[in-house]
Structure 1
Amino acid sequence: MKKAVVLLSGGLDSATCLAMGQEAGYQCHTLAFDYGQRHRAELVAAERVSRYHGAASHRVIRLDLGTIGGSALTDTALAVPEEESEGIPITYVPARNTVFLSLALGLAEVLEADAIYIGVNAVDYSGYPDCRPAFIDAFRALATVATKAGVEGHAPSIQTPLLTLSKGDIIRAGTALGVDYSLTVSCYQADDDGQACGRCDSCRLRRAGFAAAGVVDPTRYAGAMPK
């Protein structure tokens, strides 16, 4: 069976990616990162989603992107914004997807995997530069020259099935594939039990996506929903 490494954050998009990888016939090996993020609820969710979908293996790589700082997701001295803003938001984590894909590329070599799945999205997203098609194209080129597999002509493909889908489209597709979104955590500042704040950018995009998809939102919120 062909193999794939699936980057699994525990959120809505990556859970959908896992289901899509399995639907495409891959034996999926999930990979999560304990990178110094504000809460561990998403790591618990990633393991839960991986187990629910019967992934072949689940790994957690530990690294500390908080050491370089620069993001409200890794530096608790920076507040997570609860109002919409222009430009690249403070929740952008410098070099995160570059680092994550590089480590996934290494694991793919070891497993002799044919593909790497990542849930980047260039439609309903927060303006992050490492979610754009240009970034993915550049990394695909890198993969062909940076690895033994690439030099030998069989670098793993970088699969981005969500890249041009709206959040509503993603939820509809995942629902059709049996994704249980109640298992996922998307909130930037979820509490220890994985309950969402309902106010951050990620919560707004998630809530709007369920509304657009016509699917009941299973998200657990910590308090009253904002108007």
Structure 2
Amino acid sequence: MTEQTLNTEKRAVILLSGGLDSATVVAMARAEGYSCYTMSFDYGQRHRSELEAAARVARDLGVIEHKVIGLNLDGIGGSALTDSSIDVPETLGEGIPVTYVPARNTVFLSLALGWAEVLQARDIFIGVNAVDYSGYPDCRPEFVEAFEVMANLATKAGVEGNGFRIQAPLQNLSKGQIVEAGTKLGVDYSLTVSCYQADAQGRACGKCDSCRLRAQGFAEAGIADPTRYF
């Protein structure tokens, strides 16, 4: 690829979990003219069927390259998503729930940053949301802004003036607004998996926080929910 092509192609690295939010973000980036490179993580999560969902979404939305990175966050534990001895809560609780995975978005964005620098991409997209979400600290606007500052301090590209932008286009949208936006952009939500304890076929429990928020979004948008339940 020539230097001129690298300078004119608008590339983005997008964190793609396989869920509703991240699939919407891929469609948004594509609609803005980005060449999309998606990254997922096999981090020891109990809902590993989301990885198959991410691959389906990447194919359906025509990304340039989809990469899966293996991590061992289950070696750290401390979350119901990575420690099978901790139950996924099925009722609303107080404070930050046990489904919070310590440092997850910090680690994920750091690896996306590394790939973006290799690809000479200047934009990294993440589907965090601060309206309809579970209260995770690494989904807040303050976190996204602070990571962008760090990204431009910590990289060769940033130091040389070719800085990065961390884009979180869903940050201030309700789940219903996200479903509406993705539907208009042609996202096939039947390909996605959001449930924290989805089975091997990607069927949802219908009881966890993520299932509740997903169902709420389709109801608010007035759009048929394609989620399969076990």
TM-score in terms of structure 2 length: 0.96
Which residue number in structure 2 is paired with residue 33 of structure 1?
41
Mapped partners of 2:59, 2:215: distance in 1? 25
Contact 2:55 2:66 in 1 (8 A): yes
TM-score in terms of structure 1 length: 0.97
SS in 1 for 2:117: helix
RMSD between superposed Cα atoms in Å? 0.5
Provide, for residues 93-131 of structure 1, a one-character-per-residue CA deviation record: whole Å limited to 9, x for no partner: 000000000000000000000200000000000000000
Which residue number in structure 2 is paired with residue 225 of structure 1?
none
Mapped partners of 1:163, 1:129: distance in 2? 13
Task: List aligned pairs for 1:203-222, cutoff 5 A.
Answer: 203-222=211-230
- Paired residues, number: 222
SS in 2 for 1:109: helix
Mapped partners of 2:102, 2:33: distance in 1? 33
Identity across matched positions, percent:
69
Deviation at 1:86, TM superposition (A): 1.2
Provide, for residues 148-206 of structure 1, a one-character-per-residue CA deviation record: whole Å limited to 9, x for no partner: 01101112211100000000000000000000000000000000000000000000000
Contact 2:113 2:124 in 1 (8 A): yes
SS in 2 for 1:209: helix
Task: Give runs of ≥4 in structure 1 deviating > 2 Å.
Answer: none
* Aligned AA (1:5): V
Contact 2:47 2:195 in 1 (8 A): no
Return the match for 1:23 from 11, 26, 31: 31
Mapped partners of 1:149, 1:181: distance in 2? 36
Question: Is residue 158 of structure 2 the alignment partner of residue 130 of structure 1?
Answer: no
Deviation at 1:39, TM superposition (A): 2.5
Task: List aligned pairs for 1:68-217, cutoff 5 A.
Answer: 68-217=76-225
Deviation at 1:35, TM superposition (A): 0.4
Mapped partners of 1:8, 1:104: distance in 2? 11
Which residue number in structure 2 is paired with residue 8 of structure 1?
16
* Aligned AA (2:141): P
Mapped partners of 1:171, 1:124: distance in 2? 12
| Structure 2 gap ranges (5+) | 1-8
Mapped partners of 1:207, 1:45: distance in 2? 18
Which residue number in structure 2 is paired with residue 46 of structure 1?
54
* Aligned AA (1:208): Q
| Structure 1 gap ranges (5+) | 223-227
Mapped partners of 1:114, 1:134: distance in 2? 20
